[in-house]
Structure 1
Amino acid sequence: MGLKKEIKDYIIITFGLILIAIGIHFFLVPHNLAAGGLTGLAMVINHYIPNLSIGIIMLIGNIFFFVIGFIFIGKAFGTKTIYSSLMLSVIISILEKVAPISKPISQDILINLIFGILIGAIGMAIVFNRNASTGGTDIPAKILNKYAHLEIGKGLLIIDFSITLLAVIAFGATTGMYALLGVIINGSMVDFVIDGLNITKRIEIMSSKTEEIRKFIIEELGRSATIYRAIGAYNLEKSDVLITVMGKKEFIKLRNFIKEVDPCAFIITHNVHEVLGEGFGNILD
């Protein structure tokens, strides 16, 4: 089961990396939108050394950052992060060979920025959601955190801002400001997509058929639940409140079952963005 999960994780991570590469290659690179990170730095270097492709520069950069990371941080890199960072460079190199871009898909720089960041952010969220990252400038941010006691988020912001300043020098103020806008949008979009991927339902059920519902949750849905004894404020009658957490698809099945056994049941649902523990995320990750 562990090996199957690992294989599944790497397949999903690879899909996320393909999305990131598509966003970079087809939308950001043609307009020189160096929106931070190692990708942005590679675009700036490629501007001055065009014989070096962006994919190759990223590959060299990732190897360099990993060596620096091992020296200053130690073996704090998971195999998934090493795989993700190197594979992203490889995928971009492949795209540069099989689908070279001679001109932007759209002449509207803002349209390219939005689509490039949106597609890339979905890919990054998928990668992050599988406990991996694309490496790159994450590593110098961790070094700053260790030696300068600077929060990783602030370290990344400083590094990305520095790269967008280089983009201003290389590509002009307008393109550089678009790149900075891309940095801001990307951070927000990644958080938004990760929240959407991880949403589960917390459900509170008050019903005269608590036992039937409890059995359905455990036997049919494979989930557990907690039952509280409550007193109704209106008539002071004692009743049970059943509380459970499950995915959106499971909740639809549960809701349909409750409609059949007790149409008068009272149900409250909440969107929960993270659940850790048995049957959900590993609390140790």
Structure 2
Amino acid sequence: MASPFKNGDRQTQFRARVWQRRMSEHRETAARLARDYALILLGATLLAVSMHLFFIPHQLVAGGLSGTAQIINSFTGWPIGTLTFLLNIPLFIVGWRFLGGRRFLARTVVASFVFSAVLDGLLQWLWPDVVLTEDLALNALYGGVTAGVAVGLIFRAKATSGGTDILARILERRFGMPLSQAYLYTDGLVVFLAGLAFDWEHALYAVIGLYVGGVMVELTLNGSNVMRVATIVTSQPEAVAAGILADLERGVTDWTGRGMYTGVERHVLLCAVSRAEIVQLKAIVHETDPHAFVIIGQAQEVLGEGFRSLVEA
């Protein structure tokens, strides 16, 4: 039977579908771009507010180049935001090389510029000489929380606020180092110099703020719901997998392994679950194969069906 559509009609329909698909992709790209730059503006502004309220008035160094700018400011009086932006310029090049090219560079420059402009301009005009509390512990704690959330928002937008954020991000990506640990390494020298420039009590409180900030960056970036990965060595793979699929509605991957001591082939099941599902998972394995060997580890991030989408990541 001849097709009811002529060749020209089929070509027109094909072109229309291609055009619709491209328009949909452009809309999604524009929406993601708008979301990313909104996160950058929000994060950079919150970071400037954190510096203005908690770190600068109490000589608690924020670490990185902004902390370096605080030390220079104590001797010269030069504006901290402007100093931070100028000191960032060499690291912009490093970040462009290792963290994402022109897109990364553009977003990081925007974040650094907004931070500097808000800190040196807007806050000095709207909210000068503000002191919420003289307690160094409270300032270190709340400064770390607010700065960590701010930097996490900027990271989620595939940018950094510049400075040692760039170096910390490189350490995380290249070597798998947790951000809280990476910040302690990259900011250690700045804290030492702050101890010499101000006093050691302030420097020690600053370390608390830096650690809290690193933890909050991880929570903001990856969420508080850190997942668990279970590796189950079992002789009853079908029964164990069936229980997990039915009760937890989680996917299971089956591998074949061989014990090097016994030489016996065994099935190895891999499953990612939430922290709340661990107790139920262990009960399923215990009921179906009490002799199974189970390893439960922590996964920093799980992406894919049933978890966070790769597109959102």
TM more than 0.5: yes
Q: Does 1:64 align with 2:90?
A: yes
Q: Say if 1:113 and 1:85 are closer, same or farther in 2 by CA, change over 3 A.
A: same
Q: Does 1:243 align with 2:249?
A: yes
The one of 112, 116, 135 aligned to 2:143: 116
- Normalising by structure 2, report the TM-score: 0.59
User: 1:129-208, aligned counterparts within 5 Å?
Assistant: 129-139=156-166, 156-196=183-223
Indicate if the aligned counterparts of 2:146 and 2:213 stay in contact, CA closer than 8 A. Answer: no
Report how far residue 110 of structure 1 moved.
1.5
Name the SS for the 2:45 alignment partner.
helix
Write the distance in 2 (CA, Å) between the matches of 1:7 and 1:175: 39
Give the RMSD, CA atoms, in angstroms. 4.1
Report how far residue 277 of structure 1 moved.
3.3
Q: Does 1 or 2 have the higher relative contact order (CA < 8 Å, sep 6+)?
A: 1
User: 1:3-152, aligned counterparts within 5 Å?
Assistant: 3-50=30-77, 52-67=78-93, 75=101, 78=104, 79-102=106-129, 104-139=131-166
Structure 1: tracts of 5 or more residues without a match: 201-227, 233-238, 246-267
Report how far residue 68 of structure 1 moved.
5.7
Report how far residue 229 of structure 1 moved.
8.2
Structure 2: tracts of 5 or more residues without a match: 1-27, 228-239, 252-274, 279-298
Name the SS for the 1:35 alignment partner.
coil
Q: Say if 1:9 and 1:229 are closer, same or farther in 2 by CA, change over 3 A.
A: same
Report how far residue 105 of structure 1 moved.
1.9
Write the distance in 2 (CA, Å) between the matches of 1:187 and 1:280: 22
Report how far residue 165 of structure 1 moved.
0.9
Write the distance in 2 (CA, Å) between the matches of 1:136 and 1:91: 17
Report how far residue 197 of structure 1 moved.
6.1
Amino acid at match of 1:93: D
Amino acid at match of 1:58: T
Write the distance in 1 (CA, Å) between the matches of 2:39 and 2:197: 35
Report how far residue 12 of structure 1 moved.
2.1
Indicate if the aligned counterparts of 2:141 and 2:208 stay in contact, CA closer than 8 A. Answer: no
Please tell me whether Structure 1 or Structure 2 has the larger radius of gyration of its CA atoms.
2
Name the SS for the 1:277 alignment partner.
coil
Amino acid at match of 2:310: N
Report how far residue 44 of structure 1 moved.
0.6
Q: Say if 1:240 and 1:14 are closer, same or farther in 2 by CA, change over 3 A.
A: same
User: 1:196-235, aligned counterparts within 5 Å?
Assistant: 196=223, 230=242
Amino acid at match of 1:168: G
Q: Does 1:282 align with 2:310?
A: yes
Write the distance in 2 (CA, Å) between the matches of 1:2 and 1:113: 39
Q: Say if 1:103 and 1:6 are closer, same or farther in 2 by CA, change over 3 A.
A: closer
Name the SS for the 1:230 alignment partner.
helix
Indicate if the aligned counterparts of 2:51 and 2:62 stay in contact, CA closer than 8 A. Answer: no
Amino acid at match of 1:282: L
Write the distance in 1 (CA, Å) between the matches of 2:176 and 2:35: 35
- Normalising by structure 1, report the TM-score: 0.64
Report how far residue 55 of structure 1 moved.
0.9
Question: Number of matched residues?
Answer: 229
- Between 166-175 and 8-17, report the one with greater CA deviation: 8-17
Q: Say if 1:83 and 1:31 are closer, same or farther in 2 by CA, change over 3 A.
A: same
Name the SS for the 1:175 alignment partner.
helix
